[in-house]
Chain A
Amino acid sequence: MNLYIKTYRHLINPSPMIDGKEYLTSVYRSLGIDYPKFFKMDNLSKLGFLASELIFKDDPSRFVPREDLAVIGFNRSASLEADTAYQATIQDNKNYFPSPAAFVYTLPNIVTGEIAIRNKFYGETSFYISEQFDAEQIFRTVNHAFQDKKTRSVLAAWIESFDGTQEVFMMLVETETSEIPFSIKQINKIMNN
């Protein structure tokens, strides 16, 4: 099957000196949207959410429920950032305040759910972990996702938020012909741009 990258976005916190939360809030403000749920999200979900907003903001048929789009995330650290934050709430039995709102983000796939909720995507949502950004694995996994007969588009993203790194690279891969063919070479080229 011939697949194409319809569009893509790359967000990266330019400096370790810039606080992660502040960086994400500034991107959110620049979008001019009103979505209060954003402020409840962990950084990983915020990153994915913002990239998906950039990809779909001008889509005229946006918010029409659809089952033919899959959201697939990839990263290195799973939810270790949220895990660390949650661990701090249970570390000491004398100062023990586990919060369900913090616990729910200790799963990397929550970001795919946040994007599905925002856009009414009823299709597949999945999350994969790898040691490093692996264009070959992303290419193969996205290709395979089209084996589901319903799937016509895959929103695929490398989303990393941990230990000083904040980066999301997201692309919309479709069966419909467009300029950029979906290939390992193109994934690497766009990612390293």
Chain B
Amino acid sequence: MIVRIGDNIISALGFTTDENYSAVKSGRSGLRLYDSCMDAPEPFIASLIDKERLNDEFSRTDFPSFQNLESLNLESLTVLEKASILSVLSANKEAQIDLANPRVLFIFSSTKGNVEQLTMNNEQLTMREDKNCSLSIVNYSLYLWQSAQLIVNYFKNPNTPILVSNACISGACAQIAAMRELESGAYDYAVVIGADMLSKFIISGFQSFKALSPEPCRPFNANRTGLNLGEAAATIIYANGASYGGGLRVGARNAMTLVGGAIRNDANHISGPSRTGEGSYRALRSILQDVTPDEIAFINAHGTATPYNDNMEAIAIARAGMDAVPVNSLKGCFGHTLGAAGVLESIVSMHALLDDTILPTRGFENKADDCSLTIVNQMMPTKKSYFIKMLSGFGGCNAALLFNKTE
């Protein structure tokens, strides 16, 4: 069991968790139509971070030791790196831990990192064809580990960061990694960062799959038309529950803890969800060993709004005997934020439960005839103390996390 002691979300809906949670609660969405953006040949709907505000807030950060780091050039930081650093700084305003302490481990989750920098000139392209897709000249910041190391250097943390890249479930895997590291006693605190930014690379890929919706997405809706993409950097700072006063800070009434997590594979197809929801069902079954469905306030599903994903999740949830548990999706507010999704959506759901609230599924109106789930379409109060976060991704991977509010 590990305890949340601080968090932050940077997205189209704001630069703090409070801004984001309030926006979602008041029914707002970060999704907009973009035309002629990022050199994408077709218009697309997405939830994008305000880059002017990001640069402005970043330039106003006052981190004295930063000036002493000769290896870091502030100008060379990418949007992904700046957003991640800002997110950690904001999360630590609440957590108030010494990030440079060797008992603190950084865990970074991203699917595509700085992939937008992967542009090549004709000479390099010719070389690629000749030499088995290998480029001898590579922009250094294309390596995911370099971004993670840069962020860790910024905070003068001495440990090698852990870097998870497990498709769209990365944000859940990073939290499971944090749980394992802290419960084994290897570290006292884990800073879990999930971040992904959009680029022509990512947008064109999802377009090629015909997965992008021409309208704001409608998770679990009968005639849903696909997903929208989103940008985010989100951070959760966790402490080891056992060494953290039984999970309760002095004076704090409620604490959110991550009590379980499982990753399972469909063993079926690398890009198509299982028709039996196999991996997702097995992940749910694993975390349900310690809790019964009637104790669960809600399930925050992956709910991307593609026909196949939502159908697969509905089958998995029903197989796990949770038809009656309220299910919501946050993709109508943030879009699919890839490697950040697991972190961001866990934070919003944690704050909803601390607020005794079940958030509605923006964009949802009517469910499909064959869907037996209880999809949340308006805000509801709850007195229960558990929620489940689900995620699924390419490669057939699925994750489920179990969170608990300790009173």
Is A121 within 8 A of B162, CB to CB? no
CB pair B208 A100 closer than 8 Å: yes
Stretch of A27-35, A112-120, A167-175 lying at the B interface: A112-120
B133 A84 Cβ-Cβ under 8 A: yes
Q: At the interface with chain B, which of A88-96, A176-184, A185-193?
A: A88-96
- Contact A127-B39, Cβ < 8 Å, known A117-B267, A122-B282, A163-B138: no
**Given the complex of chains A and B, what is the CA–CA distance between A123 and B184 in angstroms?**
21
Contact indicator A83/B201 (Cβ below 8 Å): yes
Residue A12 is within 8 A (CB to CB) of chain B in the complex: no
A interface secondary structure, majority: mixed
The count of residues in chain A whose C-beta lies closer than 8 Å to any C-beta of chain B is: 66
Proximity string of chain B (154-179) to chain A, C-beta cutoff 8 Å, 1 when within and 0 when not: 00000010111111000001000100
Question: Closest Cβ of chain B: how far from A16's Cβ, in Å?
Answer: 9
Alpha-carbon distance A83/B113, docked complex (angstroms): 12
Which one of A2-10, A52-60, A102-110 is at the B interface? A102-110
Instruction: Give the distance in Å from the alpha carbon of A96 to the alpha carbon of B146 in the complex.
Output: 30
Q: A93-B39, A120-B267 are in contact. Are A144 and B180 (CB under 8 A)?
A: yes
Q: Is the C-beta of A11 less than 8 angstroms from some C-beta in chain B?
A: no
Cross-chain contact B265 with A83 (CB below 8 angstroms)? no
Give Cα A141–Cα B186 distance, bound, in whole angstroms.
11
> How far apart are the CA atoms of A54 and B397 in the complex, in Å?
24
From residue B159, how far is it (CB to closest CB) to chain A in Å? Answer: 10
In the complex the two chains form, what is the Cα distance from A177 to B149 in whole Å? 37
Min C-beta distance of A162 to chain B, whole Å: 7
A67 touching B264, Cβ below 8 Å: yes
Shortest CB-to-CB span from A138 to chain B, Å, is 12
* Bound Cα distance A29, B113 (Å): 36
> Inside 8 A of B292's CB, which chain A residues have their CB?
none
A178 and B6 CA atoms in complex are apart in Å by: 44
Q: Given the complex of chains A and B, what is the CA–CA distance between A126 and B270 in angstroms? A: 14
Question: Which A-chain residue is minimally distant from B263 (CB atoms)?
Answer: A124
In this complex, the interface size class of chain B, counting residues with CB under 8 Å from chain A, is 35 or more
B262–A148 CB distance below 8 A: yes
Complex: A83 Cα to B112 Cα, angstroms: 9
- Interface pair B128/A84, CB less than 8 Å apart: yes
Q: How far is the CA of A84 from the CA of B181 in the complex (A)?
A: 34
Please tell me which one of the listed residues B209, B289, B396 contacts residue A116 in the complex, with CB atoms under 8 A apart.
Answer: B396
A114 to B395, CA, bound (A): 7
Given A90-B204, A130-B160, are A104 and B263 neighbors across the interface (CB < 8 Å)?
no
CB neighbors of B among A71-86 (8 A): 71, 76-78, 80-86
A126 CA to B286 CA in the complex, in Å?
17
- Collect the chain A residues with CB atoms within 8 Å of residue B206's CB: 103
Interface residues in B279-338 by Cβ distance below 8 A to A read 279, 282, 286, 289
Indicate whether A148 sits within 8 Å of B286 (C-beta atoms), given known contacts A120-B267, A126-B164. yes
Contact B181 A144 (CB under 8 A): yes
Instruction: Please name the residue on chain B nearest to A103 by beta carbon.
Output: B205
**Which residues on B sit within 8 Å (CB–CB) of A110?**
167, 270, 394-395
Q: Residue of B at shortest CB range from A67?
A: B282
Q: How far is the CA of A163 from the CA of B167 in the complex (A)?
A: 23
Contact (Cβ within 8 A) A106 B205: yes
Contact between B201 and A130 (Cβ–Cβ < 8 Å)?
A: no
Contact of A122 among B145, B204, B267 (CB under 8 A): B267
Which of B67-75, B117-125, B218-226, B248-256 is the interface stretch? B117-125
- B322-365 contacts to A (CB < 8 Å): none
Cβ-defined contact, B394 with A21, below 8 A: no
Complex interface: chain B residues within 8 A of A128 (CB): 162-165
> What B residues does A109 contact at CB under 8 A?
165-167, 393-395, 397
A83 vs B269: C-alpha distance when bound (angstroms) = 20
Contact with B along A139-182 (1 / 0, CB 8 A): 01101110111100000000000111000000000000000000
Q: How far is the CB of A2 from chain B (nearest CB, A)?
A: 15
| A87 & B120 in contact (Cβ 8 Å cutoff) | yes
Q: Is the CB of B125 within 8 A of A88?
A: yes
Tell me which of B131, B143, B265 has the highest count of chain A C-beta atoms within 10 A of its own C-beta: B265
| Smallest CB separation, A107 vs chain B (Å) | 5
Known: A83-B115, A107-B167, A130-B145. A90 touches B201 (CB 8 A): yes
- List the 5 closest pairs (A to B, CB-CB), nearest first: A113-B395, A103-B205, A144-B180, A98-B208, A116-B265
Given A90-B204, A98-B205, A150-B286, output 10 extra A-B contacts at Cβ < 8 Å. Answer: A76-B145, A83-B112, A83-B118, A108-B165, A113-B395, A114-B270, A120-B267, A122-B279, A137-B162, A163-B138
